[in-house]
Amino acid sequence: MARRETPEINAGSMADIAFLLLIFFLVTTTMNVDSGISKKLSEKPPPDYKPPIIKEKNIFEVNINRNNELLVEGDRMQITDLKQSAIKFIDNGGGIGKPAEDGTPGKPCDYCEGERSPSSSDHPNKAIISVQSDRGTEYGTYIKVQNELLKAYTVLRNRLSKQRYGILYTELYKRYKDSRGSEKEEWKKKVDDIKTSFPQIISDAEPTSAN
């Protein structure tokens, strides 16, 4: 009796199909990209640089201890209350702003809607938010604090942009990014106007080390 050979399956075409599927998924699959907080490190000042004198009332101190507890101006605070507290400080408008580059004296903030308390910030362009964390602070807590502070600036910029240009700042910025040519320049002027009115001044102090 003749020996019958076991039939073999041609795997060549299957390998081709698998390769094509691999290429397909590589091309069409969307990869998650981690995003973070945009930070620009300050340049080292020249040796003869003299730092300006800053009034204590123009500094909004935010401290995060190693237990991830928030201390704002020396008082305990929940992270959920930080945004509103920062808005109140930035928007106070209790004095005059910085002199202009041409030497024109600073003026009171005529677009601020705060309490104009003499014990709080003079002007949005003088209002500094100082964030100091501990080396034991969880990174997630630090990010939450930064997000709340950025939200405060967004609220104020949206309000002013709505008043001056009829649209929110977030939409104003989007139109600037999407536009081209001379139209882009017009949107840029409006974006710069809002950013200058409410400049984002957040300072990160050197982390402390708990004993």
- Residue 80: the pLDDT is 94
pLDDT, mean of each 10-residue run, the chain (211 residues): 58 69 77 57 64 88 94 94 97 91 85 95 95 92 94 97 96 93 92 95 81 50
- Residue 48: the pLDDT is 73
Reported as a single tens digit per residue, the pLDDT across 70-123 is 999 989 999 999 999 999 999 999 999 988 777 778 899 999 999 999 999 999
Query: Taking the CA of residue 95 as centre, how many other CA atoms within 13 Å lie in the half-sphere pointing to its CB?
Result: 18
- Residue 34: the pLDDT is 53
**SS3 sequence of 158-195:** HHHHHHHHCCCHHHHHHHHHHCCHHHHHHHHHHHHHHH
Determine if the pTM surpasses 0.85.
no
CB 145 within 8 A of CB 187: no
- Residue 9: the pLDDT is 57
- Residue 83: the pLDDT is 96
CB 127 within 8 A of CB 150: no
Which residues in the chain belong to E strands, given as ranges?
A: 59-64, 70-72, 75-77, 128-133, 202-204
- Residue 68: the pLDDT is 93
- Residue 157: the pLDDT is 97
